[in-house]
Amino acid sequence: MNEIETHLQEALIQAQQALAAVTSSAEIEECHIRFLGRKGQITALLKSMGAVPAAERPQVGRTANRVKQEIDVAFAAARAALDRQDRVVVQALDVTLPGRRRHSGFLHPVARVMDDAVAIFRRLGFVVADGPDLETVHHNFDALNTPPEHPSRDVKDTFYLADGRCLRTQTSPVQIRVMERQPPPVRIICPGRCYRRDTPDATHSMNFHQIEGLYVDRQVSLADLKGVLGEFAREIMGPDVKIRFRPHFFPFTEPSIEYDFSCIMCGGKGCGVCKHSGWLEISGAGMVDPAVFTAVGYDPETWTGYAFGMGIERIAMIRHAINDIRLLYENDVRFLAQF
């Protein structure tokens, strides 16, 4: 092989390596000057071909043509690669593309109702109180005037621990805890989790939420209770919602009532949701039983009070027309994201 051919071959390899590493069109231009410019490496070699002996010239000429072709290919490849890169950059900046949706978090419907309920009662002057999920039987039943034979105490209905405590079946025991530690007057709400040994179905869950209310002062009446619950109903469900009381029984209140909201679906005219009664059953309430005051050391001759409890899931279900409580606990984002 002629010396010029060897040099051409070396120059080609250098050019290919240099072009493989370029990152800008300016660098491609530099390569062009270095190898193919007027004083370029390859240009100089081609010029020196005049000195090649005539017999070798055809062979060297062929090599020179091949090197020129290959170097053209290397330049074209480098330009194409750069062009692709430029396009990617331009595409990344394409302001006409639709924006990427950002997934923001949202509150669970049960948490929203709970937050709303707490906010409403706070505006009405109630203070939030707290108690443990694991309760003593004293707080959950005895002090709430619930006799030992009461069916709600049965192991079939309540989760008991080996140490005799239980998972609270209601938020009412927080009433007892608050009254045990502070003198009247009392105006509290207790939001929280409750547990019952129920078989899950469309309206029952072993785990649910309640918000409890207690107001103790002198000369409290059922009318006060109706005023507060009516205000709550209008705030949480809408300005036209009405409330009604029905006689009922709870061990810890006397008299006891159950209260209903007028149906928000039909405005009280009667529909499938309210079973054509015009009313939706919400929960229980009443005037605090004197036996409860005695249990916490309040004088029942001096103090009067009302108490109420309500299921948060029930209100969330009414608010959003959800017909199965289990949907609230399956954590299916497609369901939860609707609210």
Q: Alpha-carbon distance 170 to 144, whole Å?
A: 11
Task: Confirm or reject binding of residue 284 to ligand DAH (CB under 6 A).
Answer: yes
Of the candidates 158, 253, 262, 304, which one interacts with ligand DAH according to CB under 6 A?
253
Cα atoms in the Cβ-side hemisphere of radius 13 Å centred on 200: 12
304, two tokens: 């009067």
What is the 3-state composition of the chain as percent helix, strand, coil, each rounded to the nearest 5? 45, 20, 35
Q: How far is the CB of 284 from ligand DAH (least distance, A)?
A: 3
For ligand DAH, which stretch binds (CB under 6 A), given 52-60, 122-130, 232-240, 306-314? 306-314
Select the span of 13-21, 55-63, 233-241, 305-313 touching ligand DAH (CB under 6 A): 305-313
140 near ligand DAH, rule: CB under 6 A:
no
Among 35, 75, 141, 250, binds ligand DAH (CB under 6 A): 250
* Near ligand DAH by CB under 6 A: residue from 308, 318, 325, 328: 308
Within a 13 Å sphere around the CA of 291, how many CA atoms are in the beta-carbon half?
13
> Is 286 a binder of ligand DAH (CB under 6 A)?
yes
Assigned token pair, 209: 């939420």
Nearest-angstrom CA–CA distance, 38 and 109: 77
Residues 185-224 that bind ligand DAH (CB under 6 A): 212
Stretch that binds ligand DAH, among 120-128, 227-235, 304-312, 323-331 (CB under 6 A): 304-312
- 170 near ligand DAH (CB under 6 A): yes
Q: Hey, is 190 helix, strand or coil?
A: strand
Helix (H, G, I), strand (E, B) or coil at 287: strand
By beta-carbon proximity to ligand DAH, the closer residue of 71 and 285 is 285
Burial (CB count within 10 angstroms: exposed 0-12, middle 13-18, buried 19+), residue 43: middle
Q: Is 293 in the site for ligand DAH (CB under 6 A)?
A: no
Contact flag: residue 309 with ligand DAH (CB under 6 A): yes
Quick one: 268 or 309, whose CB is closer to ligand DAH? 309
Contact track, ligand DAH, 7-46, x by CB under 6 A: ----------------------------------------
Q: Judged by CB under 6 A, which stretch of 51-59, 89-97, 227-235, 283-291 contacts ligand DAH?
A: 283-291
Question: Which window, 176-184, 220-228, 268-276, 280-288, contacts ligand DAH (CB under 6 A)?
Answer: 280-288
Residue in 41, 283, 295, 312 binding ligand DAH, rule: CB under 6 A: 283
Structure tokens at 177: 């805890």
Nearest to 323 by CA among 257, 260, 267, 273: 273
Contact between 135 and ligand DAH per CB under 6 A: no
Q: Are strands 304-311 and 207-217 parallel, antiparallel or unpaired?
A: antiparallel
Distances in whole angstroms, Cα of residue 297 to Cα of each of 166, 212, 281: 24, 21, 33
> Is residue 285 close enough to count as binding ligand DAH by CB under 6 A?
yes
What is residue 142's DSSP assignment? Answer: G
Span near ligand DAH by CB under 6 A; candidates 156-164, 181-189, 281-289, 329-337: 281-289
DSSP string for residues in 192-242? EEEE--PPP-SS--SEEEEEEEEEEETT--HHHHHHHHHHHHHHHH-TT--
Binding site for ligand DAH (CB under 6 A): 170, 172, 212, 250, 252-253, 283-286, 307-309
